[in-house]
């Protein structure tokens, strides 16, 4: 048996610090990004770094446990102190990565691919075609992934629809950047995930039948990244459904 004053084996100590470091980085990095102490990308990169550390920690931990159990060198408890958080971090990120594969690598969702609503107050990112290169590619990918996103018709005049949309946006906690009821225009910013990535939203409402009814289109765009895990499409789908349900 190992002497109680003897230090745990090197691999056990390495595993401990790798696992604890991975957990700390996974918690601290995104939290700093949430409150804009560091950039959103830096916070996300911290998660990736934590994932790499956790994988190394798992590998060293498995070797350390094998040696400890087969040769009775001690260090099992030290190893588990690092191995357990390493597995938790890697498992959490693994689930996220698996979910990402279900969605297309686009970050711009709309109900009108031919004529998407335009931002006038908020600025559309300069690299908005990142990952797709051309508008044609974006339209093709979007049409295949989200065929259900479509224009809705409201049995109310434009100003009334915009007023309801504004209230709905505020109820969701979005920051309204511009609202023009007569012009049928609304822009807002929504947050997503613990890091609070910012996504910009624009709503366009056009009159129909002499303004007795309205034609509503929406667009939601991520400010950073290539893929969005389907968040923009989910936002458009849910908002439009809720808006439609508010008509008389």
Domain 108-245 has CATH 3.40.190.10: no
Domains of the chain, residue spans: 10-100, 108-245
The reported pLDDT for the residue numbered 145 is 96
Least confident of 24-28, 64-68, 142-146, 232-236: 64-68
Give the 3-state secondary structure of residue 236: helix
Q: 17-74: per-residue pLDDT in tens?
A: 999 999 999 999 999 999 999 999 999 999 999 999 999 999 999 999 999 888 777 7
Q: Per-residue pLDDT for 182 more than 90?
A: yes
Mean pLDDT of 228-243: 97
160-166: long-range contacts (C-beta < 8 A, 24 or more apart)?
160/214, 161/205, 161/214, 161/216, 161/243, 162/186, 162/203, 162/205, 164/243, 164/246, 165/203, 165/205, 165/216, 165/243
Helix or strand (DSSP H, E) at 100: helix 76-100
Q: Per-residue pLDDT for 219 more than 70?
A: yes
Integer Cα distance of 103 and 98 in angstroms: 10
| Residues 6+ away with beta carbon under 8 Å from 173 | 190, 191
**What is the percent of the chain where pLDDT is above 70?**
98
Integer Cα distance of 93 and 198 in angstroms: 21
Whole-model pTM: value is 0.85
Q: 184-218: per-residue pLDDT in tens?
A: 999 999 999 888 999 999 999 999 988 899 999 99
Tell me how far apart the terminal alpha carbons of the chain are, to the nearest angstrom: 79
């Amino acid at each position: 048996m190992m002497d109680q004053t003897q230090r745990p084996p090197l691999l056990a100590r390495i595993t401990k610090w790798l696992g604890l470091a991975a957990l700390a980085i996974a918690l601290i990095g995104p939290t700093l990004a949430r409150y804009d102490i560091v950039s959103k990308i830096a916070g996300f990169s911290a998660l990736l770094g934590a994932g790499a550390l956790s994988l190394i920690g798992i590998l060293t931990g498995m070797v350390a446990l094998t040696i400890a159990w087969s040769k009775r060198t001690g260090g099992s408890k030290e190893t588990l102190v690092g191995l357990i958080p390493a597995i938790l971090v890697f498992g959490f990120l693994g689930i996220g990565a698996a979910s990402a594969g279900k969605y297309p690598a686009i970050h711009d969702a709309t109900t009108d691919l031919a004529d998407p609503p335009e931002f006038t107050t908020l600025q559309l990112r300069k690299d908005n075609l990142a990952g797709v290169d051309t508008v044609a590619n974006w339209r093709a990918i979007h049409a295949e992934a989200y065929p259900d996103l479509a224009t809705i018709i409201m049995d109310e005049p434009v100003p009334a629809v915009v007023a309801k949309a504004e209230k709905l946006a505020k109820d969701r906690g979005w920051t309204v950047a511009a609202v023009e009821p007569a012009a049928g225009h609304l822009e807002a910013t929504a947050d997503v995930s613990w890091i609070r990535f910012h996504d910009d939203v624009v709503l366009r409402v056009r009159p129909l039948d002499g303004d007795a009814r309205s034609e509503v289109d929406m667009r939601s765009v991520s400010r950073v990244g290539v893929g969005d895990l389907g968040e923009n499409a989910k936002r458009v789908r849910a908002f439009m459904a809720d808006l439609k349900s508010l008509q008389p």
